[in-house]
Every structure is written in C-alpha cells, then in structure tokens.
Structure 1
Amino acid sequence: MSTFKKTVGKLHLWLGLASGLIVFIVSLTGALFVFQDDIRDLTEPWRKVEAQATAPVLPSQLQAAALARHPGVDAASTWVTYFGPERSATVFFTDKSGAPTQVYLNPYTGRVLHELDLRTHFFTIVQEIHMHLLLPEAVAKWVVGGGVSVFVVMLLTGLVLWWPKRKQERKQRFTIKWGARWRRVNYDLHNVLGFYAASIGLVLALSGLFMLYPWLLEPLVLAVDGGRPAPQEIMKTKLDTLQSATATVQPLPDIVYRTARRLSPTHEMILLGPTGMGKDPAFCWTYQKALHYYHRDEYAFHPVSGQLLETRFHNSKSAGTKLSDMNYDLHVGQILGFGGKLVAFLVSLICASLPVTGTIIWWGRRNKTKKKKPRLQAV
C-alpha cells in the first residue's frame, strides 16, 4: 500500500472512531423520519378530512377555535397552516406552560379534531434526537455538525481506500462474498455498501449541514448563479418605522391569507407566520404541493396595515435560490417522490451500519495483532 493510502487509512480510522456514535444515531433516526408523513397518515386519522366544494374558513376563525382551551395565548403569536383540500389545517403555538402545541382543525368548519403536545410525540422526539441528540441547541449544533462534517470526510476517504489498484480487482470490490467467513462478509458490507451509498450519503449529509449552517449553502448558490445573485434574491423586507400606518379593520391573518390565495391560486399548502411581532413584517409562504417545501412563493406584509410589501414567486427565482429551496426535500428524498424516499431510507440505514462494521474491522485487526506478538517473542 502506498504512503498516501496509508495516511488516508489512518485518517479514515481515527475520524471514524471519533464520530461513529454520532453518525450511527443521526443516520438511524434519519431513516426513521423519512416516512414520518406516510406513517402518520396511517396512524393519525385527524390529519385527513373530506374535501368540500366550499372555501376554507379564514385563519382568524381557526385561531379562535384552537385557542378556546388556551386562554391567555396571543393569537398573533401562532402559526397557521392549510395543508390542502383533503387535509386538516393546523394552528401551532406555545402554551402558558411552555408546551409546543399543535391543534388540528377541519378547514371547512373550524371544528377542532385533535390536539397534540409535541413534547411527547414520537416523531418529534425522533426529529429532536436527529437534529440535536437531546442536547442544548447551541451545543448540539457543533456536536452534530462536527460529526456529520467528519462523516463527509469519511465517505471521501473511504472511496480513496476502496478504489482498486488493478482492473481485475474491480469485480471483487463491487460484490459481497456471502459464502465467506463472517469477518470477510462484514468487511465486504463495510466497503461494498459504503461505495454504493457514498454519492447519496453525501447529498443527505451535505443537505443536513446546510440546515445547521445556512451560510455553507451561500457559496453553492452563488456558484450556481454564476457568482452574481439576481437582485430579487438579495432584497430584504424592511419597515419604515418613522412612517405611521393605519391599522387594518379586518384581522391581519385573513388579509394575508386572502392575498396569498389570490396570487398563488394553484398552490395547495399555505403557511402563515406570526402576525404580532410589531416591528417585523408578517410573512406567508405558499407551496405547490402539500408536505413538499421546494416549489414555493413568498410574501411579506406590513404588520399594522396589512399592505403587501414584497413578493418572491418561484418562477422568478434564480437557479441557485431554487436549489436552496429544494434542500429539505432533497434531505428526505421526497424530491423524487416515494422512490426517492425509499432510496433515502435505505442509504440512511447503510450509513448507520458503516460505523458498526468499521468498528468490527478495526477490533478484529487489533486483536489479531495482539495475538501475533507472543509468537514473535517465543521465536
């Protein structure tokens, strides 16, 4: 083996031992989370409703119904989501005890269907482990981010170590010898599966890092856009605090909802952010397809008058910004539909197995070396 490959091997070994537990947990919980919407649709009947010909009720009515059991919670601090014609709407808020709460309502009648305390919800816990390992967010950002960053290096160094020196070795590197001894099967599982999963694993790891560190995505967006972002991509919605504004007669969420519905009539999902932040604009996002976050239009409104301040339509965005919007759907594989989610699930499981099979390889070689030492001494 060349000096270069020996150095890469040492780097691969020690980085793998240092980050293995983090990679295992993050990958396994990621695999569990991929199909969370599909599983929840089967196990949580309150997520679906029968589509009706009538228009959905306005968000102010949904807020009033959801907060009827939670006096003291400001409606302006809630998040309201319309998920589509055959899905319930939700109102999300933090109650007086600090519990993150999501209320599901029939969007056509405003009737409360179910209320969730997200602290005890299975997939919320899985997501929290995946993103933060149940650590404080400030600490987890560096622990998880560091582990995933090391995993990216591991995938690249693994490809260097896997690459066959001679052409006749290539067939052997692409297949697992199931009939061999278990140590050889474990070795093949680590190398062969690692090779097949490397490209998708890199996409999953990098898209996860982009969520943790959004600034990492900026150079990629600039590169895709040729180094010069389009003017509409760098606009920042600002309020003129010196200019007085006349308060709207209608509830602000209703104005936001009606405007977004009118300007994005074909979009299924609408998300309304908090509207009572005072100095900050009220934001709204519309999505072409329910539970998909790529194809979206964005709106900003004056928090007092309800005046539309800024729009960003999907069709007018640059290629780099569209790539940025695609990040979550890439991370869970749903950008390619059910097949993409299945691939993301399988690759996540393989990524979870790599620290295990790699540790077994290292432990076997370590013990083998120890057993050889007494023989050399006796000779």
Structure 2
Amino acid sequence: MGMLRRAWFQIHWFIGITAGTVLVVIGLSGATLSFREEIVDALNPGLSHPGAAPGAVALQPPALLAALEAQLDGRRVNALTVFADTGRAARANLAPLPGQARGETRGVDPYTGALLSEPRGDAFFEFVERLHRWLLLPRDDGKAVTGTLAAGLLVLALSGLYLRWPRRPLAWRAWLRLDFGLTGRAFLWNLHAVVGTVALVAYLVSSATGIYWGFDAVRTLVDNAAGEGRAVRAQRMQGGGDAGAAPAPVKLDLARVWQGFGAATHGDWSQVTLRLPARGASSVEATYLRAQPEHERARNRLYLQAATGEVTRHERYADKPLAGRLVNSIYPLHMGTYWGLPGRIFMMLSSLAMALFAITGWMLYLGRRRTKKAVRAERARFGQGATASGGEAVLIAFATQTGQAERLALQTAGALKSAGIAAVIKPVSELTADVLAHFKKALWIVSTFGEGDPPDTARAFARGFARPGPDLLHLQYGVLALGDRRYATFCGFGRKLDHDLRSRSAQALFPMVEVDVNDGAALGTWRAALGRVFGLSADAASSWPAADAKADVPAFESWRLVRRQLLNPGSEGDPLYEIELSGPASASWAPGALAELVPPAPPAAGDAVMAPRSYSVASLPSDGGLQLLVRQTRHANGLGVASGWLTVGAAIGAEVPLRLIANPSFTLVDDDPPCIFIGNGSGFAGLRAHLRERVRRGHGRNWLVYGERTSRHDAFFVDELATWRAAGLLARADIAYSRDQPERVYVQDKLRAAADELPVWVNEGAVIYVCGSLAGMAPGVDAALADVLGADAFDELIALGRYRRDVY
C-alpha cells in the first residue's frame, strides 16, 4: 500500500485497539438508552398517566405550581413541564439542594400537584447515562474523555472510509457485499468492512455530536455562531437588558403568563417547559413543541414578561436559520429520532455494532501479531538479527523466488548459531555497499529464475552490483547457487554473482556450490564446506535438517480427470483447453498455487520417469474442482508429453498423479490494495484464481491487462469479465487482441497507452501480478513498466514485493 494509505492504516488500527474497547462501553450504553422512556413506562404502568378521582380535572399550570410549591417547604421550582394530553404526568425540575450539582427532576400528578414516586428502573438508566456521557467520572473530566473518544470515533470512521474506498464508488456491491462463503481472516475483514460501511453515517453523526457535548469550548462556539448561546438566552430571560446589570425585583404572575402563552401559540402545542425567572430575571422562557413537531427537539421559544404575560420575543423553530435548526437538532440526530422510529432503531443497532467492530478488529490485529510473532520466532530460532562484538557476525544473504533460498539461509544460520557463531540474515534487496562494509564474511544463497535471471526481488540489487563499485578486499564469501539443469543457463544468477564478487576483489572461502533442484548431495557439499571453514562440530552438523530438502514438499496424490473443454476453436494459435480434475476431499490451495503433475512417459522413453510439469491453478477450492488452462505444445515429433496427454491422450476418468505446491512469490495480498493483473494466453489461469478470490472478498479495485490473438476465436474469458464488471468488482479491463488489426498490439502496448493512470494506481499502493510467457511477454511488460513508472520506481516496486510474477 502507498505511504499515505499505510499511514492511515496505522492510525486506524492504533485508535481501534486503544480507544476501541472504551468505545464499546459507550456504544452499548447508548444502545441501552435508546428506548429508555418506553422501558421505564412499561416497568411503571400508570405512572406516566396517573389515575384521577371521579370528576377530577387536570390543573392548569398556575394552580399546579401553587399546589406543588405548597408541599416543598420553600424549595424552588426551576422549571415546570406540562403536556397538552392533560392526563399525562407533568415534570418539575427542582432547585438543587446544598451539595448537589444539579437539581432532580420529578413527576407531578397533573390532578393534585403531588410529587410522584421515583419510577422503577430509572436509577439504573441514570447510572447508564452517567456511564455513557461521562464514564462515571466527575462530570467535567468525563466530558473531556468522552469528547476525545468521540473524536477518535470520527477518525476511525473517516480512515475506514478512506481505506475501503473502491475504484467505482457508485457500485453498491463493492460496498455492501457480505460474503458468508469466506472463512478466517478474509471473512473477518469482509464483515468488519461491510458493517462499518453500513454504520458509517451513524458513527459520523454520533462522533460529531459527541464532540459538541464533550468540549464546552466547541459547544459554546457552535451555539454562539447559531445564536443559541447561554449568554443570549440569559439576556432574553432578563427582558433584553444587560446580563451584567443588577437584577430588579419582579413578581411572577403565572396566570397571565399562561394566558399570554395560549394567545401566542393559538393552542398549537403538545408539550411546553416553563423556565421560571430567578435572580431577578424579568421573563419566563416557554420552550414548546408544536402539536405536530418536526422532531422531538424541534423547539420553539417564547419569552413572556413574568409580571404581565406580554410576549417580548417569539422564536419559531421553522423560522430559524439552518445553523439554529441544526443546533436544536443535535440530540435527535444523536439518538436517531430525527428520522423517526427507523432512525432510532438504526442508531441503536449501530451502537450495538461497536462490539462487533471491537471483536473483529482485535481478531484481525491479533492475527497479524501471531503471524509476525511466528515469523520472528522462527527467524530468532535460526539466529536472525543476532550480532557479535567487533563486527564478527556472518552475513547470510538470500535471493529467493519460491522461498527455498530463504529456508536454506535459515537452516545455515541455525547451524552456525549452534556452533556459537553469530549470523545476520538479510534479503539481497536490502544490501548496500555500506551494509557489506560491516561484515568480513558473507554467505550468499541465491536462486536463479528462468533463463539466468535473478529472482524478482533481487533484480535491482543485481543490476546495481554489476556496475563498477567499491572494492571488497575485506570480504570473504561463499555462494550456494540454486538452479534447474533443464534450463540452458543453469545457476546463471549465482554464477554472475560469483563473478561480480571476484571482480570486486572479494575472496572466496570455497568454490561455489551449485544445486540442481535441491540435490541432496550438492547440499551436503555446502554443509561440508561450511564445516571446514567455520569448524562446525558433529553436534552442529546434526542440527541440519535431513539432506533431502524436499522433505517439506507434499507427496503426489491420485487425482482424476473429470472434464476438458476446448476454449479457442478455430484459433490461429495452438489449442487451449480448460482441464478440470477432482482430488482428495481434504485438498485445499490458495490463489497463486501451482499444480505439479507427472505425465506417463512416452513409449520411446522405455521405463524412464519423466520430469514433473507445473501449471498455474485457475480455480478456487470453492469452485468444486481443480481447473487448469493447458495450451497444447507442438514439437517436430508431435505434441508435448504433458500437454498432449492432458488435452488428448488421457481418457476422462484417468488417474493423474498430482501435488499442489505453494508459490510464495505469487501469493495474494491479505488486505485490499488496488491490484493490477497482467498476462497473456494460458497465463489467464493464475490471474483468474486471484481475481475470483478478490471478487469473493468484495475487493473491487482490480485492473486486468490481458492479451490473446483474436476476439473472434480467443475471447473465452469475456463472459466472466462482464459479470465482474457489472458487479463493480473489475474497475478496468484492457484487452490486447494482437491480430485483430494490421499492426500487432500486445499487453505492453496497453500498459504504455495507460501511462497516465498506471502511476496513480501504483502510488495508491497497487500490487502488480504478471502471469504468462517468460520469453515473449514478461520482458516486454518489464520494459513498459520501467518506462512508464521510471526505472527506480520499478525497482522499488520489486524490492517491496509489490511486483509478483508467475511466468514460464
């Protein structure tokens, strides 16, 4: 992923694992409060609508206040709330007692003015509310903490949106496809991302309103900007006078005030709270909801002279500017009631989902930690990172395409460590002249790829090391070169590296050791050479794994050929077949895997064993079978041994000895960066497996660049591509039909034509996969990418493991 995405990813998971647990508490407590009033009413039947004696009439506010004050022993009533539904209990907010920060709110019998008993369950919800708003901390401290957590939730929501943003944002499937067919980490990520997308609006609203309530400075700034600040309201309560002026005595005539309220509202109200004047204020503030309010906090404010009931100011919610309406809507937005019952339920479910995010987030985080820990433990076991005083540690440098060179490097380090010799393991992509200057001895374990090339991750190093550079007179070295004698340039990279080291005056500890496909005898030569040079004891030698380095390679199993289909009838090219095999029920593989099979020897070979053939797997285990794309190979004496047998010779139902091989250099990334898939011909096999898995996961930032001969006979893939594109899971497809026009057009030409967009994808963290022919396509693709991206950027892409190839 690009630097910006990587930074946001780090921010996202850090906030998630630090603030996430506490956000769960806030979320669950908020969900508990969603239907507080309904639950309390259910627990206290009749309390919200006290029964009346026969013939009793609900008291008007003046009489209700007088009856209430008669039983309070001089305790002041700050505010009185009454309802147009005259049988509903009124509410009184009482002045706080000494030592109380806030006065209590009590129910009042609308017929007698008597204080009602505390409702059952209300104390529990008061506790939950303190937990939700202040985390049971002192009010001012708690507000700051919950405000900070709200800001963290805002960053989590926005960073999650950024990290998940698909190439085609209007394709709903890219956002909302929850795939229950996934398992393990892939399912956790899909669940985390899809539910997060659904709940995104709720979290943005909750976090913004939480910040408003959490920080007094923010609330004051917003309220004042909207003309709703406390100072403004206090001034209106004083009849518009100077808030700092000495209060003048005033006598409240609530009967006149109530009469004035009725005249001003024309009876269009359902609930009103009368805030009674205190400390010499000359006005009563009547905050009311209309009979059909826009929402539960669509408050209208009416200011009336306390002594005469004359209206001094009438602020209607509908007449407020947008800022004023938003400030008065903060609570219903936070609770979801702004959108009615559906919004209320949605906000409650989103609050409950906080627990889901914490669980899946922690599982994903711990999964990454376990993976990294296992790697560190394995490397530590073999001495990776060990140092020795005086710079005497041995450098073990490896270059690998399939992972075998790294495994041998770890085994070598383990043998040295058991003899008390410190070793430092590094991939050659991390080596520079400064690094080499710190070591007196270096062991190089390097693979050769294709026709003498270095592995992909070592290409930049090999190119730079071949140029003239500083002498390495201080360095003694040994080279273990891995190769395959079926190629003309056997161990070509190892031989070139040995040549370049000698050219820089480095001294060989022993002659280079060449290994043909893990030849046990050659590996024994390597171990013996190390024993002589480093004085390894018999005990150290016994720490080496068994001489056959293929011990960790699975055995061949019996599979059966169940289907084959010609994909390109009439093509100018050789026939291409889709081959399907069925195998053991326990068989499983990941995208990028290889199928290695052994065809029967042709009659002319007698009893000779033919070498295994490898094919890119074109399907997923969930597809129901192992699918390969096999191109017939034609020679002067007939069809190729393996391709001819699979496409023509073997009968349906024939037994096929086969094993599945992991392909570490061509694995699919775990997370969701953009991916560019490039290939031609039968190379569509490896790309198809990757694309199918990305589609299963709902990852839509996929770009396919693929080449075939003609659209008329070779477009076997177009229906599947059309399905992906319609689902918003294939952002772009550039198909090069080389022979549909007089001039030849290949995939490298399509890459150059996309020179404007290709660097954008790469800068956004794209991983590039290439699958197809080594001789024709691969060098052309390399050259095109180097031209479009720049040689240095292309080298960095390779070194970072973001350029992955399966070419043959």
TM-score range, shorter chain: 0.7 to 0.9
Quote the Cα distance in structure 1 between the aligned partners of 2:117 and 2:37.
17
Alignment of 1:225-240 (within 5 A): 236-237=235-236, 238-239=240-241
Q: How much does 1:333 deviate?
A: 1.1
1:317 aligns with 2:356: no
**Larger RCO (alpha carbons 8 Å, 6+ apart):** 1
1:38 paired with 2:58, answer no
Partner in structure 1 of residue 25 of structure 2: 25
Letter in 1 for 2:20: G
Q: Compared with structure 1, are the counterparts of its residues 211 and 252 closer, same or farther at alpha carbon in structure 2 (3 Å cutoff)?
A: farther
Change (3 A) 1:300 1:170: closer
Structure 1 residues 40, 290: closer, same or farther in 2, change over 3 A?
Answer: farther
Matches of 1:84 and 1:50, distance apart in 2: 17
Instruction: Describe how 1:343-362 pairs up with structure 2 within 5 A.
Output: 343-362=346-365
Q: What CA distance in whole angstroms lies between the structure 2 residues aligned with 1:119 and 1:305?
A: 42
TM-score, normalised to structure 1, is: 0.82
Instruction: Give the counterpart letter for 1:324 in structure 2.
Output: V
The Cα shift of 1:164 comes to 3.6
Aligned to 1:93: 94
* Secondary structure of the structure 2 residue equivalent to 1:31: helix
Work out whether residues 281 and 301 of structure 1, in 8 Å CA contact, stay in contact via their aligned partners in 2: yes
Alignment correspondent of 1:122 = 124
Aligned to 1:121, the other structure's residue is in SS state helix
**Does the CA contact (< 8 Å) of 1:197 and 1:351 recur in 2?**
no
| CA distance in structure 1 between the aligned counterparts of 2:247 and 2:311, rounded to whole angstroms | 16
SS at match of 1:191: helix
Alpha carbons of structure 1 residues 182 and 36: separation in structure 2 relative to 1, 3 Å = farther
Partners of 1:222 and 1:283 in 2: CA distance: 18
Cα deviation per residue 1:201-227 (whole Å; 9 max; x = unaligned)? Answer: 21122123223347647888999x9xx
Amino acid at match of 2:212: F
Distance 1:67 1:331, change over 3 A: same
Q: What SS does the aligned partner of 2:269 have? A: coil
Q: How does 1:124-139 map to 2 (within 5 A)?
A: 124-139=126-141
Aligned residue for 1:104? 107
Aligned partner of 1:259 in structure 2 is 260
Aligned counterparts of 1:278 and 1:219: Cα–Cα separation in 2? 27
| 3-state SS in 2 of match to 1:130 | helix
2:343 paired residue among 323, 340, 345:
340
For 1:283, what is the secondary structure of its paired residue?
Answer: strand
| SS of corresponding position for 1:116 | coil
d(CA) in 2 for partners of 1:159, 1:92: 43
Match of 2:118, SS state, is strand
Q: Given the superposition, is the C-alpha separation of residues 252 and 358 from structure 1 closer, same or farther in structure 2, using an over 3 Å criterion?
A: farther
Is the CA contact (8 Å cut-off) linking 1:78 and 1:273 kept in structure 2?
A: yes
> 2:122 & 2:107 partners in 1: Cα distance?
16
Measured against aligned partners, the alpha-carbon deviations of 1:250-273 in whole angstroms (never above 9, x if no partner) come to: x43443333223212211000012
Partner of 1:159: 161
Corresponding letter in the other structure for 1:255: R
Supply the distance in 2 between the matched residues of 1:243 and 1:163 (Cα, whole angstroms): 59
Q: Distance in 1 between matches of 2:172 and 2:379?
A: 35
Residues 66, 189 of structure 1: CA spacing in aligned structure 2 closer, same or farther, 3 A cutoff? farther
Is the contact made by 1:31 and 1:346 (CA closer than 8 Å) also made in structure 2? yes
Q: Distance in 1 between matches of 2:95 and 2:221?
A: 35
C-alpha separation between the residues in 2 aligned to 1:208 and 1:267? 30
How far off is 1:376 after superposition? 2.7
1:7 maps to what in 2? 7
**Which residue in the other structure is 2:289 paired with?**
287
- 2:280 matched to which residue of 1? 278
- Which whole-Å CA distance do the structure 2 matches of 1:299 and 1:60 have between them? 17
CA–CA distance in structure 1, aligned partners of residues 321 and 117 of structure 2: 39
One-letter amino acid of the structure 2 residue matched with residue 71 of structure 1: D
CA distance in 1, matches of 2:83, 2:220: 29
Structure 1 residue 132, shift from structure 2 partner: 0.9
Give runs of aligned pairs for residues 205-216 of structure 1, distance below 5 A.
Answer: 205-213=207-215, 216=218
Q: Distance in 1 between matches of 2:120 and 2:282?
A: 27
**Aligned residues of 2:68 and 2:115 also touching (Cα < 8 A):** no
CA–CA distance in structure 2, aligned partners of residues 314 and 350 of structure 1: 33
> In 2, distance between residues paired with 1:243 and 1:73?
21
- Deviation string, structure 1 residues 230-288 (Cα, Å, up to 9, x no partner): 9xxx785233657967x44xx43443333223212211000012323324743220112
CA spacing shift, 1:183–1:61, aligned 2, 3 Å: farther
The 3 A distance-change label for structure 1 pair 64 and 122 is: farther
Q: Which moved more, 1:133-142 or 1:213-222?
A: 213-222
Output the CA distance in 1 between the equivalents of 2:119 and 2:141: 25
Task: Report the Cα distance in structure 2 between the residues aligned to 1:253 and 1:117, rounded to whole angstroms.
Answer: 29
Q: Distance in 1 between matches of 2:11 and 2:271?
A: 46
Give the aligned partner of residue 574 of structure 2: none
Q: Name the counterpart of 1:48.
A: 49
Shift of 1:186: 2.9
Contact 1:30 1:130 (8 Å CA) reproduced: yes
Deviation digits for residues 313-354 of structure 1 (CA, Å, limit 9, x no counterpart): 223322321222122111111122211111111111123432
Aligned-partner Cα distance in 2 for 1:278–1:19: 46
- The range that moved more, 94-103 or 120-129, is 94-103
Q: Does 1:84 align with 2:84?
A: yes
Deviation of 1:194 (Å): 0.7
Q: Which residue of 1 aligns with 2:792?
A: none
Q: Distance in 1 between matches of 2:148 and 2:140?
A: 13
Shift of 1:87: 2.1
Max Rg structure: 2
Shift in Å, 1:128: 1.5
| Residues 150 and 207, structure 2, Cα contact 8 Å, conserved in 1 | yes
1:101-138 deviation digits (Å, cap 9, x = unpaired) = 3332332x235372328996222222221111111111
Find the aligned partners of 1:100 and 1:37 in 2 and give their Cα distance: 20
Native 8 Å contact 1:102 1:115 kept in 2: no
Q: 1:254 to 1:277 in 2, by over 3 A?
A: farther
Name the counterpart of 1:194.
Answer: 196
What's 2:423 paired with? none
**How many residues matched?**
366
From the superposition, tell whether residues 282 and 175 of structure 1 become closer, same or farther in structure 2 (CA, over 3 Å). Answer: same
Equivalent position amino acid for 1:90 in 2: R
Compute the displacement of 1:149 (Å).
0.7
Kept after mapping to 2: 8 A contact 1:79/1:274? yes
Aligned Cα root-mean-square deviation (Å): 3.7
In 2, Cα distance between equivalents of 1:43 and 1:252: 38
Name the structure with the higher helix share: 1
TM-fit CA distance, 1:290 = 8.8
Percent identical pairs in the alignment equals 21
Secondary structure of the corresponding residue to residue 61 of structure 1: helix
Change (3 A) 1:283 1:111: closer
Call closer, same or farther: CA 1:128–1:259 in 2, change over 3 Å: farther
Q: In the superposition, relative to structure 1, how do residues 126 and 24 fare at CA in structure 2: closer, same or farther (>3 Å)?
A: same
Q: Secondary structure at the match of 1:46?
A: coil
Hey, what's the Cα distance between the residues in 2 that align with 1:141 and 1:289? 34
Q: Is the 8 A contact 1:269 1:290 kept in 2?
A: no
Instruction: Choose which of 137, 141, 144 in structure 2 pairs with 1:142.
Output: 144
Q: 1:180 & 1:40 partners in 2: Cα distance?
A: 42
Letter in 1 for 2:374: K
Pick which of 278-287 and 299-308 moved more: 299-308
